[in-house]
Structure 1
Amino acid sequence: MNDTNHVTVSQEVEQLRAQVVALEELLEVYEQETLEKSVRLEAALVDLQERAQQLAYSEEALRVLKSILESMGDGVMVADEAGRFLFINPAAKQVFGVQPDSSSLEQWTTQQANLGSFYLPDAKTPYPTEQFPLVRAIQGEAVNATEMLVRSPQKDESIWLSATARSLRDDSGILRGGVAVFHNITTIKQTEEALRQSEGRSREQAQRLKQTLRTLQDTQSKLVQSEKMSSLGQLVA
């Protein structure tokens, strides 16, 4: 009986030892997993902090960029790939009289075409809506210093603009919209026109001077001939 009890106790002890060993192994595995999770969590936290700093920097950079664009003397217009206005600075609003939430780019250009607001460099041909610089930019095209005339019936004035536009793409190269910059070249065009008129007047004046010179030369020739005839008459007499 005692031997049987001893065996039973020994078995229970062995079972307990086995359970302890198993628990220790499980605890070791748990501690290892906990450590790995802690490392991953710490890495994720560091990454999150870096992203937060980058986001804060990006937001600050965007605020600075927006401030710069709003203070620019050139007009700036930005639209997404669907033609929705994203940003229009005060200079562009003043030139075009458009508000960011007023309409889509397509609606606005069509409206302006109906009003006869935009013209090609010949100042006579209406500017095709599909050729408007920002429209071309959101379609993936680049526009370099193309000239256009803007006539404002409300202000009864005409403004010459030089437009440059580029597409906006994300890091994957996917088209996300476009941006166009409009530089007022009215003074330059007026100066060019004044120079052309001045050159025209100079050519006319030069032509008149040439004609006057020829007239004087003809008159002088006639006077010389008349004097010769008079002298000859006196000799004959």
Structure 2
Amino acid sequence: MDKTLQDFVDQLGTQVDTVLLLKAVEQSPATIFITDSVGRIIYVNSKFVEVTGYAKNEVLGRDARILKGMGRSSGHKEMWSEISSGRQWKGDFHNKKKNGEYFWVRATISPIMDHEGKITNFLGMNEDITDRKQVEEALEQSVAESVQMATSLEFLNAELKSTQSQMLQREKMASIGQLAAGVAHEINNPIGFVSSNLRSLDKYFKKLTDYLVLLEKNIQDKVPETWQEIKPERKKLKIDFMLEDSEDLITESLDGSERVRKIVQNLKTFSRVDQAEEQWVDLNTCLENTIGIVWNEIKYKSKLEKDLGDLPDLNCNPQELSQVFTNILINAAQAIEKDGLIKVRSRHEEESIIITIEDNGSGIAEEHLERIFEPFFTTKAVGEGTGLGMSISYEIIKKHGGNIHIESDLGKGSIFTILLPLHPEEQSL
């Protein structure tokens, strides 16, 4: 046994059998560590060694951030503030093993105080949740790929119906819009009553919690002998844990339902069919809605920066312009292998609106630039693209009296610049 842990247990001054306690800690399926008051490790159990790959003598006396989990967590300051104030903290860390492999843990860190209330140590208990995180990420990826596949199939179906730029006329966009609106409606109904029920449940739960606290206080004050009888059963049933966890579960469920609601709203806005073909719209809103639709194609490989200026409303077909933005954003994401950056910028200059979409992907060879807007021309492998997306985008922008221009350096990225006049009837088409 480590002398430091033995000393620590001796300082507890409890009636717990020391040997039994040490055996329980050593044989625990959870990763357990103890630090001094400034975060230096003084004890780790066998499970810690097994999970992290570090021998005990490699971590004793080292800062607990040896696993780099705390340094990678945006909540580290909040965590330290909590435990330094004498409160328990719970949260997830993305830690790093000795061999460089990353793993997820759900941590509970508690301060340990002496008889004077001074913090002398911190106790950490970690549960390995790597498999759970992988399942969640795999599920999210699967859902994202399914949604993206459905969207891509709709776009591909529209593109293959004709070799002309008129593929995106009113009839095709209306049919896609009706399908999307129908799906959004079917999702919106159940998520509506789920959200409503959750909000009601949240109110009921808070009232029940307040009642329980009041009831227990009255029992403690007026019938202490009854309180002593029920106190062990209360502890056995883990009432405090259930109250705390139930509150978290309700909050997380409400957050999830709100996220679904926003996705449905973006889909309805993107494919709305109960509006005129041309209308006055804010292109920033159009860009935001389009980004929401294609976000799953982007977020796994690239960051996205938005710099949207104040724009006057433009009389246009927002569904067609959303198609242009979608084509360019998806192409940008596909040109990036990993750790990329996509920048979306909008400006009002003189009598025009200028939209730029820039990426740091693979870029386009100079000999291909002049052909990028030709129908059926593509730099993708056979079966990965029809070569119609950019030609359709070109025709849509021309139809709105504007211009679309591309600059690209092979291996460095591309910049698409879209210019849309506020008064296209005054310019030659």
Task: Give TM-score, length-normalised by structure 1.
Answer: 0.50
- Report the TM-score when normalising by structure 2: 0.30
Of the two, which has the highest radius of gyration? Answer: 1
Higher relative contact order (CA 8 A, sep 6+): 1
